[in-house]
Structure 1
């Protein structure tokens, strides 16, 4: 895995058009958009009480409430698909990274569904005044971005999943450097982590993609009028076909399998972001972080469907699938979690 170092700077906020009310309305016609700044926006569901209790519940509840208030004050957040968050067991979420909001939105949304994923974030965040310590209390796994750190990052991520906990990743490794703010080339870590964790558990670890758009146009010094921000939590992305010979892999997953899974995740993130934005990805190709230039899309890539044929496929291997909520279950009051 390449060193997780920054290169160049993200394009400025002035280069990004705000997400329009008209586009949000179009998304609302196709999806059930809900307010993910509040608990259980899709209706009652059973939270993972042991997981919540193991992750500093009082500190987590306070930070979650604070983040939710800030999000409501500075933006109009809507989302779909977070009712797909599995109710128990490990899973991986691979997120877009257009703005720093893209750290808070999916984490807040998953927390409001009664789960507590660990998340990989740059180590500098742990030193931020006031909130750095809180990040660590609520599940942050600091990432030392630099040469020689990749193996340790992957090993800790695999350990988290093997212990039964979910994990959130931003597989680009840093804010996208694409001038038009599309997902740039991904680090191979997401593929290594998913494949190796699945091998250790003996089953396919659920992998979901999440895309968020709208925050890059927010003026953080004066965020009013509030901008629209839309996020989605996609159907499970299957990769069981890549696990067929996992008993013969040797010390680590083969590079060609890692590359294929990374390709699927990347194309799916692009397709999801295209739907939210209501725009076509650049015809010239995707932004490559190594060369800081565009490279052609795969010949079989159609952004209008991306890997949706894969992402909507029904799992048949008996592992955790889409989260179903029994209408007879009463949701746990958030006060009981603290």
Structure 2
């Protein structure tokens, strides 16, 4: 099913988008790993999925479980091997996204996890405070965690936009970092303090890659939704 979807989507996507990868950008061609990108547009998953495809691997995503309940879309997600994730406290049915991801890891898959969990709320589209999913998965499974940044998707589909702007053709630049060294976080129990510290290391790595792509300095303080308390309705 994934190959079928790719054959339908990628030719059209290539008419709208060209990729520019930094010379250092590469992915492991064998074995499992977790790819952790920045997130600022609703179309980012397509952009990142196509980028991973161009770099020689098949992408798998951890997506909101509610999407799997949508007719047709849910079937496509399941058939193409994507991973449903329940929001905290939303499921009592024993759904275990870590276990589901573990199955893909055993099959040596590339699992894409957005560490911010949602679109960044930073006004200038810099990465905001990360959530624990990507790091916890890496610490509990022991597989490589690779930061990645991309820039240019907002020209195709701005944040919170309802439609894309396919023409003229857009350029998306991508920079893939080295796998993070998380060995110092594995010396004891994987508690909340350890996960929080490791998540900040990940977000710093993603931000550093984005700084290079944008040619700008990131803000000195990372956007923290819990401090700013911006409601969804407050934007309109």
Q: TM-score, normalised by structure 2?
A: 0.81
Q: What SS does the corresponding residue of 2:31 show, helix, strand or coil? A: coil
CA apart distance, 1:98: 1.0
Determine the structure 2 residue equivalent to 1:217.
155
Is 1:231 matched up with 2:174?
A: yes
* Residue number in structure 1 paired with 2:233: none
2:209 to 268, 272, 287: 272
Q: Is the 8 A contact 2:25 2:175 kept in 1?
A: no
In the TM superposition, what are the counterparts of 1:131-150 in structure 2 within 5 Å?
Answer: 131-148=73-90
- Tell me the distance in 2 between the aligned counterparts of 1:114 and 1:208: 15
CA RMSD of aligned residues (A): 2.7
State the partner residue of 2:186. 243
Note if 1:99 corresponds to 2:37. no
Residues 1-338 of structure 1: matches in 2 within 5 Å? Answer: 59-80=1-22, 84-126=26-68, 131-148=73-90, 152-162=96-106, 164-198=108-142, 205-219=143-157, 220-245=163-188, 249=189, 253-283=190-220, 285-292=221-228
List per-residue Cα deviations over 1:69-118 (Å, max 9, x = no partner).
23222233222368631122221111111113321222223234443343
Name the CA shift for 1:280/1:114 in 2 (closer, same or farther; >3 Å).
Answer: closer
Higher Rg: 1
For residues 222 and 109 of structure 1, the distance between their equivalents in structure 2, rounded to whole angstroms, comes to 19
Q: Is this contact kept in 1: 2:47–2:153, CA < 8 A? A: no
CA distance in 2: counterparts of 1:281 and 1:184, whole angstroms = 11
Alpha-carbon separation, structure 1, partners of 2:97 and 2:50? 23
Q: List per-residue Cα deviations over 1:259-300 (Å, max 9, x = no partner).
A: 2210110111111111111111123x1111222369xxxxxx
List per-residue Cα deviations over 1:26-73 (Å, max 9, x = no partner). Answer: xxxxxxxxxxxxxxxxxxxxxxxxxxxxxxxxx222211333223222
User: Are the equivalent residues in 2 in contact too, given 1:82–1:232 (CA < 8 A)?
Assistant: yes
1:155/1:62 CA distance change after superposition, 3 Å: closer
Q: Is the contact between residue 95 and residue 209 of structure 1 (CA under 8 Å) also seen in structure 2?
A: yes
Q: Which shows bigger deviation, 260-269 or 74-83?
A: 74-83
Q: Which runs of 5 or more structure 2 residues have no equivalent in the other structure?
A: 158-162, 231-236
Check whether the contact 2:115–2:130 (CA below 8 A) recurs between aligned residues.
Answer: yes
Question: Is the Cα contact below 8 Å between 2:18 and 2:172 reproduced in 1?
Answer: yes
- Is there any run of 5+ residues in structure 1 with no aligned partner, and where? 1-58, 199-204, 295-338
Q: When the two structures are superposed, what TM-score results if normalisation uses the length of structure 1? A: 0.58
Rounded to whole Å, the distance in 2 between the matches of 1:121 and 1:157 is 11
Report how many residues are paired: 223
Where do 4+ consecutive residues of structure 1 move more than 6 Å? none
2: CA distance, partners of 1:230 / 1:275: 10
